[in-house]
Amino acid sequence: MACSHLQANMAGLPIHTTVLRLGYRVGRDPRITTHLGLVARALGADAFLVAGDKDLGLFKTLTQVGDAFGGEMHVDHVASPTAWVKEFISAGEGDGPSGIAVHLTMYGEDYREVAQKLPRDKPVVVIVGGPKVPQSIYRMSQFNVAVGNQPHSEVAALALLLDRLQDGSWVDQKFEGARLEIIPNADGKTVIDRSDGEGEGEE
Ligand code: SAM
């Protein structure tokens, strides 16, 4: 699996960060799960995996964003998430250290404390729950992590955790191979479109 963000991850994310979304439902969850994928990508994750219903349209949307804005986040469906997490904890990515499972749940321990003690030299999977999270996920995860102990949004929980792990440095990461690059602008939109050579456009 390509590690497109290795340089950025050295600023704070583990050597390889995967986000796993449990219990995806085609009829109900496409929008919020697309947002999870977009947050995973923008905040430096290397892979976004979805368990539950298989939805190729969801992966197409995320791949199209990657084609336009760069980076190489891997996206895939996982048929048996519990078995996948178990294998990840024992074997990691298969050719390196064993993995760490970090499960986001409002019942967990304070994410600020976990961010300080989470190993950065092992691959990590951040598990985001769905309608019903199996007890085995709570038990097998090395960290059950709460972003505050109130119920809120999985998108917010993921973003705050990933941000905390790297002290906000994800904002400065470069996305290799981007066709479109947005230049910060206090007034209007400035976009460089590299498919037009080096042309700068304004909307
Ligand atoms: N039961 C709801 C449903 O029917 O879709 C989903 C519950 S919740 C919005 C979904 C996920 O958001 C949880 O499993 C957890 O991963 C994450 N989440 C929500 N609040 C959280 C918090 N305070 N801390 C960490 N994760 C949280």
Strand partners, 97: none
Amino acid (1-letter code) at residue 118: L
Q: Give per-residue pLDDT as tens, 152-182.
A: 999 999 999 999 999 999 999 999 999 999 9
- Distance in angstroms (rounded) separating the CA atoms of residues 200 and 131: 45
Higher pLDDT, 201 or 180: 180
Contact 131 CB / ligand 1 (< 6 Å): yes
Q: For ligand 1, atom 5, name the residue with the nearest CA.
A: 131
pLDDT over 90 at 67, yes or no: yes
Which of 36, 152, 161 is the best mutation target for the ligand 1 pocket, counting ligand atoms within 8 Å of the beta carbon and taking the most? 152
pLDDT at res. 12: 82
Q: Residue 30: inside a domain, yes or no? A: yes
Q: Residue 193: inside a domain, yes or no? A: no
Q: For ligand 1, atom 1, name the residue with the nearest CA.
A: 131
- Distance in angstroms (rounded) separating the CA atoms of residues 57 and 124: 26
**b/e per residue 90-116 (b: at least 16 CB within 10 A):** eebbeeeeebbbbbbbeebeebeebbe
3-state secondary structure at position 203: coil
pLDDT at res. 80: 97
Cα–Cα distances (Å) from 46 to 4, 37, 69, 175, in that order, read 7, 11, 15, 12
Q: Give per-residue pLDDT as tens, 112-167.
A: 999 999 999 999 999 999 999 999 999 999 999 999 999 999 999 999 999 999 99
Spatial contact of 18 and 125, defined as CB atoms under 8 Å apart: yes
Contact 106 CB / ligand 1 (< 6 Å): yes
pLDDT at res. 11: 56
Domain count across the chain: 1
Measured from the Cα of 128, ligand 1's closest atom is 16
Contact 148 CB / ligand 1 (< 6 Å): yes
Q: Residue 32: inside a domain, yes or no? A: yes
Q: Residue 128: inside a domain, yes or no? A: yes
pLDDT over 80 at 7, yes or no: no
- Tell which residue, 35, 9, 8, has the closest CA to residue 21: 35
**Pair of tokens at residue 61:** 């949307």
Q: What is the pTM of this model?
A: 0.92
Contact 151 CB / ligand 1 (< 6 Å): yes
Per-residue pLDDT band for 197 (boundaries 50, 70, 90) equals low
The CATH number of residue 145's host domain is: 3.40.1280.10
Q: Residue 137: inside a domain, yes or no? A: yes
Q: Give per-residue pLDDT as tens, 80-110.
A: 999 999 999 999 998 899 999 999 999 999 9
Q: For ligand 1, atom 2, name the residue with the nearest CA.
A: 131
Domain span at residue 163 reads 17-171
Spatial contact of 199 and 193, defined as CB atoms under 8 Å apart: yes
Q: How many CA atoms lie within 13 A of 21 on its CB side?
A: 31
- Distance in angstroms (rounded) separating the CA atoms of residues 177 and 117: 33
Q: Residue 29: inside a domain, yes or no? A: yes
Q: Residue 41: inside a domain, yes or no? A: yes
Which residue bears the tokens 């917010």?
A: 156
Contact 163 CB / ligand 1 (< 6 Å): no
Spatial contact of 99 and 123, defined as CB atoms under 8 Å apart: yes
Q: Residue 178: inside a domain, yes or no? A: no
